[in-house]
Amino acid sequence: MILGFDRNKLLKIGTSRIAYHVYFWTFFFCSWYLLLRTAENTALFTIGYTLSIVGMALFPVYIHFYFFERFFSRKRYTVYIGLLITIIVVFGLLNYYFFSHVFDDKNGPLTFMLNVSFLIVITTALKFVKHGIHQRLMMQEIKAKQLQTELDLLKTQIHPHFLFNTLNNLYGLARRHDASAAEGIFQLSHLMRYMIVDSRVDRIDLEKEVQQIQRLIDLQKLRFTEEDAVDIQFKVEGDVTHVLIPPMLLIPFVENAFKHGISLREPSFIHIHLRAGKNDVAFSVKNSNHDGHKTDESSHPGLGLRNVRRRLELLYPDAHHLTVQNTCQVFEINLILRT
């Protein structure tokens, strides 16, 4: 603690996104102040002039950032270029009329347009540099986590071949006596092979993830009978054969729904919907909530929602949108991935 303040909180605030913007505009203000402060200009005049420059610069920069994320990042280049030209012209003229009337600036409209253009170029370049550094740090974190996971597996895992051979033997034995048990072992074997062996790659066909979701559903259905009031629906739309996603990205949501959304004592439901679009994947899971009250993320340890959020932040920075809706009757997640 420093003078009653938590040092970690202060460090977090000082390295936040807002803080970096404050640093930039403070530097911008100081640079212009030192540039304009002369013997002819009083301190009060220079401060007013510099604040006006900063104020008139804020609007084109942040409006451009908005259009950049909305159009350029989504490869809508024609719309983006048109809006960029509009920003430069409109704010160049606004700056010209403001500074020529308020401060008697003798520069022409073209000069102000060039100033706006230069400011947009500089701030966009800084945005790319910051994004590149952020990406590099995230990749280092991903590699470190993967290495630690591999080390943990080496310490604790049973050899996969032994595990699968044992399951095959149990499957052969169960077929002679209990068809449902044999089906469960069969589905479990494929699901575990996917989790242990197939998921070692960085990306996998969405079709394979869909197949494993269906296997998980079929495996869970063995718990129920026709008399149980359980409604399970899994709907897939679009072409899932040419979309790549990280393995085991969607399955935890389904696993969580079965863990927390099913009760054999009262009607229950799980509705899963997957839509594969041209440039995105939309995935939703809605299940009944039998707690009778709203719950927070910590009440869902099977999902580890915060861990899933972190994985999405690492793998899909600025390319995903995850929402959680939690009511007394329904728990629902909606995920959109931009591919």
pLDDT digits (tens, 9 = 90+) for 47-82: 888 899 998 999 999 999 999 888 887 888 899 999
Answer whether residue 29 shows pLDDT above 50: yes
Look at residue 38 in the predicted model and tell me its pLDDT.
76
| pLDDT-derived band at 259, boundaries 50, 70, 90 | confident
pLDDT digits (tens, 9 = 90+) for 127-176: 888 777 777 777 877 777 776 666 555 444 444 554 555 566 556 656 65
pLDDT digits (tens, 9 = 90+) for 73-118: 788 889 999 999 999 999 999 999 999 888 888 889 999 999 999 9
DSSP-H helix ranges across the chain: 7-14, 17-36, 43-67, 77-102, 109-156, 160-175, 179-196, 206-221, 251-261, 305-315
Residues whose CB is less than 8 angstroms from the CB of residue 177 and which lie 6 or more positions away in sequence, other chains included: none
Look at residue 83 in the predicted model and tell me its pLDDT.
93
Of 281, 274, 284, 276, nearest in space to 236 by CA:
274
284 neighbors 246 (Cβ within 8 angstroms): no
Of 252, 254, 176, nearest in space to 221 by CA:
254
| pLDDT-derived band at 295, boundaries 50, 70, 90 | very low
Query: Which residues are paired to 322 by β-bridges?
Result: 335
94 neighbors 57 (Cβ within 8 angstroms): no
Quick one: average pLDDT of 254-269?
86
Domains of the chain, CATH where assigned = 7-136 (no CATH), 226-339 (3.30.565.10)
pLDDT digits (tens, 9 = 90+) for 119-137: 999 988 888 887 777 777 7
Which of 240-249, 305-314, 320-329 comes out lowest in average pLDDT? 305-314
